[in-house]
Amino acid sequence: EDKVVQSPLSLVVHEGDTVTLNCSYEVTNFRSLLWYKQEKKAPTFLFMLTSSGIEKKSGRLSSILDKKELFSILNITATQTGDSAVYLCAVNQGAQKLVFGQGTRLTINP
Amino acid sequence: NAGVMQNPRHLVRRRGQEARLRCSPMKGHSHVYWYRQLPEEGLKFMVYLQKENIIDESGMPKERFSAEFPKEGPSILRIQQVVRGDSAAYFCASSPEFYEQYFGPGTRLTVT
């Protein structure tokens, strides 16, 4: 069965800390891995990764994919209270179906 | 460029009634996807449509659920004879060809 597993499920840190969120996957077909941030509404797109070892960066967020070990990490440096959200990892198996992990709930305390 | 639009944002139905959820994709996007999110769970794929075609409905329950994306107008997810277990947030996403999917704000369905 195809699955995407995120860890930790929940994380509480202080403002200014750096966090690393993990996503491992086992799927029959792999086209790309995507990260989304979900606050109280729509998941908003962060990154799409297709190649191993190439870091994608956007401000304080960065992500990298390891296709040999079947995982990805999402790093957030100098966290702010506005980073508090559920972070979702999803794998596109081709045919456009996204398989989502259960999410990591990140809470940043001031 | 407006994002993915969904309506209604909140929908309350009694058991046995029908629910119709609408999704207008982003301008220029011809691919539409529906996902369901139960409380404290991740999103689960339901169906993938292009204009007038269902491409993949492997995540859709076999009974009571149907989806369409007509040539004109929004995509519709229809749930007949709703039951309490249908209560969830239903998200629509769209994409241009095979790129990242952009999500709408969701419709929160409550069945009483």
Nearest Cα to Cα of residue B13 among B76, B80, B66: B80
In chain A, how many domains are there? 1
Q: Name the more confident of B98 and B53.
A: B53
| pLDDT 10s digits, A84-94 | 999 999 998 87
User: What range does the domain containing A77 cover?
Assistant: 3-109
Q: Which residues of B touch A5 (CB under 8 A)?
A: none
Q: What angle do CA A33, A34, A39 make, to 5 degrees?
A: 150
User: CATH code at A57?
Assistant: 2.60.40.10
**Lowest-confidence pick of A83-87, B38-42, B49-53, B106-110:** B38-42
Task: Identify whether the C-beta of residue A33 lies closer than 8 Å to the C-beta of residue A48.
Answer: yes
Average pLDDT over residues B34-56: 90
Given a cut of 70, whether residue A95 has pLDDT beyond it is: no
Q: How far apart are alpha carbons A72 and A87 in whole angstroms?
A: 13
Chains A and B form CB pairs within 8 A to the count of 58
Kindly state the tokens that stand for B64. 């009571």
Taking a contact as any Cβ pair under 8 Å apart, which residues of chain B between 8 and 27 contact chain A? Answer: none
- Give the model confidence (pLDDT) of A31-80 as tens digits: 899 999 998 778 999 999 998 888 999 999 999 999 999 999 999 999 99
